[in-house]
């Protein structure tokens, strides 16, 4: 797998992100959807990658810098054709490697606490993420689950 930083102008990447935003907003109660739009992902505090295999878009993900050593995963998404084939774990491991390249030693994630998000939570736990208290700007929310990983 290879990754390209940025790449927001690519139609496939753009469509993947737009579908990601739409789906997450449809399953999250108002005020509990913390997904960033494309301009939000273009912020200078965020590194975004599209992830490819044999010129096919596998997925994407981003890391938001919370401090020089602490990052937050954002907008991790597996393209529909690659779901349920182990690519979620491959993408996470790829992003963890990028985090190490960036000298981060801690990663955090906010994800939903509902049934829709159960597969994502299980995947993060499989990689080694542990539940934690809200971090950064987040507050206690029954619709959110907070997790972190020391790398």
Which range of 11-15, 18-22, 123-127 scores highest in mean pLDDT? It is 123-127
Enumerate residues 6+ apart whose C-beta is below 8 A from 53.
1, 2
Name the region of 17 (left: φ>0; alpha: ψ -120 to 50; beta: rest).
alpha
CA distance 78 to 121: 14
- Model confidence at 27, pLDDT cuts 50, 70, 90, reads low
Domains of the chain, by residue range, sit at 2-150
Pick the CATH number of 2-150 from 3.40.630.30, 3.40.50.2000, 3.30.460.10, 3.30.420.40: 3.40.630.30
Higher pLDDT, 1 or 89: 89
Look at residue 29 in the predicted model and tell me its pLDDT: 62
Query: How far is 114 from 117, CA to CA, in rounded Å?
Result: 6
Beta bridge partners of 5: 49
Rg, C-alpha atoms of the chain = 14
Question: Partners of 148 in the beta sheet?
Answer: 108, 130
pLDDT band, very low/low/confident/very high, at 23 (cuts 50, 70, 90) = confident
Contact 50, 7 (CB under 8 A): yes
What's the pLDDT tens digit per position in 42-80?
Answer: 899 999 999 999 999 999 999 999 999 999 999 999 999
Gap between the terminal Cα atoms of the chain? 21
Q: Specify the pLDDT at position 57.
A: 95
What pTM value is reported for the model?
0.89
Buried-exposed string 49-80: b where 16+ CB fall within 10 A, e elsewhere: bbbbeeeebbbbbbbbbbeeebbbbbbbbbbe
* pLDDT higher than threshold 80 for residue 34: no
For the segment 11-17, the average pLDDT, to the nearest whole number, is 89
Residue with the larger pLDDT of the pair 19 and 118: 118
pLDDT of amino acid 35: 66
Among 34-48, 69-83, 134-148, the least confident range: 34-48
């Amino acid at each position: 797998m290879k990754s390209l930083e940025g790449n927001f102008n690519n139609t496939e990447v753009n469509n993947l992100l737009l579908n990601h935003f739409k789906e997450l907003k449809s399953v999250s109660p108002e005020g509990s959807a913390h997904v960033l739009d494309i301009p939000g992902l273009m912020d200078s505090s965020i590194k975004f990658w599209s992830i490819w295999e044999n010129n096919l878009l596998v997925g994407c993900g981003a890391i938001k810098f919370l401090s020089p050593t602490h990052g937050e995963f954002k907008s991790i998404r597996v393209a529909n054709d690659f779901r349920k084939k182990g690519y979620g774990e491959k993408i996470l491991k790829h992003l963890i490697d990028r985090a190490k390249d960036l000298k981060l030693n801690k990663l955090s994630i906010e994800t939903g606490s509902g049934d829709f998000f159960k597969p994502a939570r299980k995947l993060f736990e499989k990689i080694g993420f542990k539940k934690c208290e809200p971090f950064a700007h987040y507050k206690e929310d029954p619709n959110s689950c907070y997790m972190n990983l020391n790398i």
